[in-house]
Amino acid sequence: MSEDSEEEDYSDRSISDDDESDEDTFMKFVSDDIHRCTLLAADSLGDPFFPRTTQILLEYHLGRWVPRLREPRDLYGVSSSGPLSPTRWPYHCEVIDEKVQHIEWTPFFPEPVYVPTGLEIEPVYPNNKEDTVVYLAEDAYKEPCFVYSRVGGNRTPLKQPVDNCDNTLVFEARFESGNLQKVVKVADYEYQLTVRPDLFTNKHTQWYYFQVTNTQAEIVYRFTIVNFTKPASLYNRGMRPLFYSEKEAKIHNIGWQRIGDQIKYYKNNLGQDGRHFFSLTWTFQFPHNKDTCYFAHCYPYTYTNLQEYLSGINSDPVRSKFCKIRVLCHTLARNMVYVLTITTPLKNSDSRKRKAVILTARVHPGETNSSWIMKGFLDYILGDSSDARLLRDTFIFKVVPMLNPDGVIVGNYRCSLAGRDLNRNYTSLLKESFPSVWYTRNMIHRLMEKREVILYCDLHGHSRKQNIFMYGCDGSNRSKAKGLYLQQRIFPLMLSKNCPNKFSFSACKFNVQKSKEGTGRVVMWKMGIRNSFTLEATFCGSTLGNKRGTHFSTKDLESMGYHFCDSLLDYCDPDRSKYFRCLKELEEMEKHLNLDRVFDDSDTSLVEISLDVESRDPNTSESTALTWLSDDTQEEPLRNHWH
Cα–Cα nearest to 415, from 195, 199, 145: 199
Amino acid at 292: T
For the chain, helix, strand, coil in percent to 5 are 30, 25, 50
* The pLDDT value given to residue 618: 36
CATH architecture of the domain with residue range 305-625: 3-Layer(aba) Sandwich (3.40)
Cα–Cα nearest to 21, from 60, 58, 66, 53: 53
* The pLDDT value given to residue 162: 64
| Mean pLDDT for back-to-back runs of 10 residues, the chain (643 residues) | 37 36 34 41 50 69 76 52 77 93 96 96 86 85 86 86 77 97 96 96 95 97 97 96 99 98 95 86 98 99 97 95 96 97 82 91 99 99 97 97 98 97 96 97 96 98 97 69 80 97 96 91 96 98 98 98 98 94 91 57 42 36 35 41 43
Phi-psi region of 467 (alpha: psi -120 to 50; beta: other; left: phi over 0): left
Q: Do 305-625 and 91-296 fall under one CATH topology?
A: no
* Catalytic residue set: 536
* The pLDDT value given to residue 639: 53
Q: Which residues of 348-384 are buried (b: 16+ CB within 10 A; e: fewer)?
A: eeebeebebbbbbbbbbbbbbbbbbbbbbbbebbbee
The SS3 assignment for 369 reads helix
Q: Which residues of 158-182 are buried (b: 16+ CB within 10 A; e: fewer)?
A: eeebbeeeeebbbbbbbbbbbbbbb
Q: Which residues of 411-421 are buried (b: 16+ CB within 10 A; e: fewer)?
A: bbbbbbbbbbb
Q: Which long-range contacts (CB under 8 A, 24 or more apart) does 35-40 make?
A: 35/59, 40/65
* The pLDDT value given to residue 634: 35
Q: Where are the domains of the chain?
A: 91-296, 305-625
CA distance 204 to 200: 11
Q: Specify the pTM.
A: 0.83
CATH for the 91-296 domain, from 3.40.630.30, 2.60.40.3120, 3.40.1280.10, 3.20.20.70:
2.60.40.3120
Contact 102, 255 (CB under 8 A): yes
The number of CA neighbours under 13 Å toward the Cβ of 232 is 6
